[in-house]
Amino acid sequence: MQHRPDPLPPHDPLGLVDLAAGHLTAWAAAPDGPGAARLPSDPGVPVLAHTLASVGGGTPEARRAAAHAVAVWARNAGRGPGHHGLYDGGLAGTLAGLRLGAALHPRLHHVADRLRDRLVAAATTRDGRRRGVRLADYDLILGPAGVLLAHCAGARPEPGHLLPYRDRLAALCDSDDLWRLRTDGYAGHPHLAWLQGRVNTGMGHGVAGVTAALTAAVRHTGPAAGDALRRAARWLEAQAYEDDRGLLTWPGAGLDGRTPPRDAVPRQAWCYGAPGVAWALWDAADALGDTGAADRAAAVFTRLADRYDEGFHLCGDGPADVLGLCHGAAGVLVVADAFARYAGHAGAAGLRERLTALLRERLPGALVPPSGWSAELLTGAPGALAALLTVAHGASRAWLPCLGLR
């Protein structure tokens, strides 16, 4: 399917470039201060630096601030838990950060290449669970879905580098009911007991993230994963229900014959609910050439755009929940921008304008020192600033595969 890119919004006159540059300068002066990331390998700082440096007409001062922040970040890159995931301090997040930071410090490409090869070699020799899975066995945050997408950030990946992750995910999606993605090991868990024995639907920890990764695999490696992608998308589409606000949305885990909930759930975000899941379904349909499925996913987003209520759907106690990428306005913004740009979706363009205005209004106040808002990509200030630079200033989109977007 061919789509005409949606035109960019007008130039932002409110000093967003200076705001982002000032934030990176303050972070670099105190990378372990109140606004630090929990884990130094998180790609938030190099993502923001990359987007800031890519803005056309950006000032030399902004580019210097971006380059300095990457240099400070790179000194600690790779330190942390040592797992292979994209987030929570994983090495795939380090890879994405190095690749994007290399636009400012080209020598980082060599470091990124070595880390890429290390990750691929480990994935080639590692056998994962095929039943009783944990989140790290498949998901976008910790698992192979996220590692595959990290290889797509900042560079066009060689197909061979994606194959071990693609084949792992395809093997887990070898049945229509996706039974291999039923999780185990969470009985009695203080936060995840609700997921025991069930299949998560979300972008961060569930089938939407697997779908996004398989979509990228189809685009970069060819149709071999097409059947697995179709199964994942069909299962995901079948879990949708209508809430009492008239939204078509998704429960946190598959319905398994349960009656769908009726009460509206406030969180409609990148991670859970209609925005991230609808995008995963639309992009999968686009990659597979399935116009009917693409139209159905676009219809879901039409309802969301018509009924999205900032006062209800942006909920939480701080900027991470209200403004961030994972739970908040920035995540819905970049999804709306993707729908507007690639699907030519008029409703998404309107929602994009509303959320752009909201972030322009609220971000400066959220960054006033001594702000403790973290430097992580998904929940921190760098992600929200990078989203706004990308949408409102036409900054580089090379970081968006970290969200299953493009």
Contact 214, 228 (CB under 8 A): yes
Q: Which residues are annotated as a binding site for Zn(2+)?
A: 271, 326-327
Token look-up 């309107």 returns 350
**CA 105, 110, 111, 113 torsion-angle sign:** positive
Token readout for 58 is 């950006």
- DSSP state letter for 395: -
Contact 217, 209 (CB under 8 A): no
- DSSP state string for 244-277: TTS-EE--SB--TTPPPP-SPPS--SSSSSHHHH
Q: Which residues are annotated as a binding site?
A: 271, 326-327
CB atoms within 10 A of CB 165: 29
Would you call 132 helix, strand, or coil by DSSP?
Answer: coil
Strand pairing of 241-242 and 248-249? antiparallel
Listed in sequence order, the residues at least 6 apart from 251 whose beta carbon sits closer than 8 Å to its beta carbon are: 201, 239, 241, 260, 261
Distance (Å, rounded) from C-alpha 342 to C-alpha 346? 11
Distance (Å, rounded) from C-alpha 329 to C-alpha 313? 9
- DSSP state letter for 375: -
Amino acid identity at 93: G
The helix (run of H) or strand (run of E) holding residue 242 is strand 241-242
25, exposed or middle or buried, with CB in 10 Å at 0-12, 13-18, 19+? middle
- DSSP state letter for 241: E
The helix (run of H) or strand (run of E) holding residue 177 is none
Buried b (16+ CB within 10 A) or exposed e, 381-405: bbbbbbbbbbbbbebbbbbbbbbbb
- DSSP state letter for 386: H
Would you call 175 helix, strand, or coil by DSSP?
Answer: coil
Amino acid identity at 326: C
User: Measured at the alpha carbon of residue 128, what is the angle toward residues 233 and 229, in degrees to the nearest 5?
Assistant: 15
